Amino acid sequence: MSSRLSWFILLILVLGFAFLYGPMLVLITYSFNANKLMTLWGGFSVRWYPELLTDSQVLNAAKNSFVVASVSATFATVLGTMAGYVLARYRKFRGRLPFSGMVTAPLVMPEVITGLSLLLLFKQLDTWFGWPRSMGFTTVILAHITFCMAYVTVVMQSRFSTFDISLEEAAQDLGARPLKTFLVITLPIVAPAVISGWLLAFTISLDDLVITLFTNGPGSGTLPQLIFSKVRRGVDPTINALATIIIAVVSTGVITSHILMTRAERRRQRDIQLALQSNK
């Protein structure tokens, strides 16, 4: 089939990938530019990296981002796993339709709306109950959990809907109670999906700007907030360096996990082949 790819498709693929990766290559290149402006090439230099990594503002924002993202991702994974389980397993219950609507709506909801509505909720809760007094870690995390949960739900729903229920029945048949069945059979088997759900939630939380702008307060500014305030004023070479670091970390992570997964899958296929042969 691959030989039949027309020149048109090939051209689009080449141009498309050039379009996707060109700007990133430009950022990486200019992060090594000695010149402060992106206009001229002033020779090779790594000066922006130490400048970036000694900037306490950047380091602090990065730390905040990590705290917010890891806490949010963890809670979002728990809630999203529950929601995904409910949607995949409980085909009928009162309120299923609004539930599935609520769960997937944040996937496409414009961020300004989610952000504004959550902020107004927090303000309202404050007038009613005196909590939360001000915007900060708590409110950002609550907001992030809510929209990250939607992504985890989608991942887990599709995992659970392909899960062989007879595995759980077998465990119960052998004497395991429902909760134990879930903990020792279901959870370990869906663990890879849980992990990828968590990673997805983590990245999305780490990347979010708009909802954070609404629900965050002073003192807990995240990395995207800092980048945003810097780049609003124009091109900043330390941001190029930061971009390069982010791209490097993400690429390494994604490519490594891809290689590991491909290898594991290949080993599995080989095992299956061997098992089939040994039987004869």
Q: What residues between 258 and 277 interact with other proteins by CB under 8 A?
A: 258, 262, 268, 271-272, 274-276
Question: Is there binding between residue 39 and other proteins (CB under 8 A)?
Answer: yes
Which C-beta is closer to other proteins: that of 220 or that of 240?
Answer: 240
The whole-angstrom separation of Cα 229 and Cα 57 is 12
Question: Is there binding between residue 243 and other proteins (CB under 8 A)?
Answer: yes
Question: Is there binding between residue 228 and other proteins (CB under 8 A)?
Answer: yes
4: left (phi > 0), else alpha (psi -120 to 50), else beta? alpha
Report the residue from 18, 59, 105, 195 that binds other proteins according to the rule CB under 8 A.
105
Part in contact with other proteins (CB under 8 A); list of ranges 17-25, 45-53, 55-63, 130-138:
17-25
The whole-angstrom separation of Cα 145 and Cα 33 is 39
Segment 131 to 170, residues that bind other proteins, using CB under 8 A = 142-143, 145-146, 149, 153-154, 157-158, 161-162, 164, 166-167, 169-170
CB of 140 vs other proteins, minimal distance in Å: 13
Question: Is there binding between residue 101 and other proteins (CB under 8 A)?
Answer: yes
CA 156 to chain centre: 14
CA 25 to each of CA 2, 47, 132, 244: distance values in angstroms, whole numbers, following the listed order: 28, 18, 43, 9
CB of 262 vs other proteins, minimal distance in Å: 7
Which C-beta is closer to other proteins: that of 67 or that of 189?
Answer: 189
Q: Are 216 and 222 in contact (CB under 8 A)?
A: yes
Segment 74 to 93, residues that bind other proteins, using CB under 8 A = 79-80, 82-83, 85-87, 90, 93
CB of 243 vs other proteins, minimal distance in Å: 4
- Contacts by 21-28, CB closer than 8 A, 24 or more apart: 24/243, 24/247, 27/240, 27/243, 27/244, 27/247, 28/240, 28/243, 28/244, 28/247
Part in contact with other proteins (CB under 8 A); list of ranges 44-52, 55-63, 130-138, 208-216:
208-216
The whole-angstrom separation of Cα 98 and Cα 73 is 24
Task: Measure the CA angle with vertex 217, ends 213 and 241; round to 5°.
Answer: 60
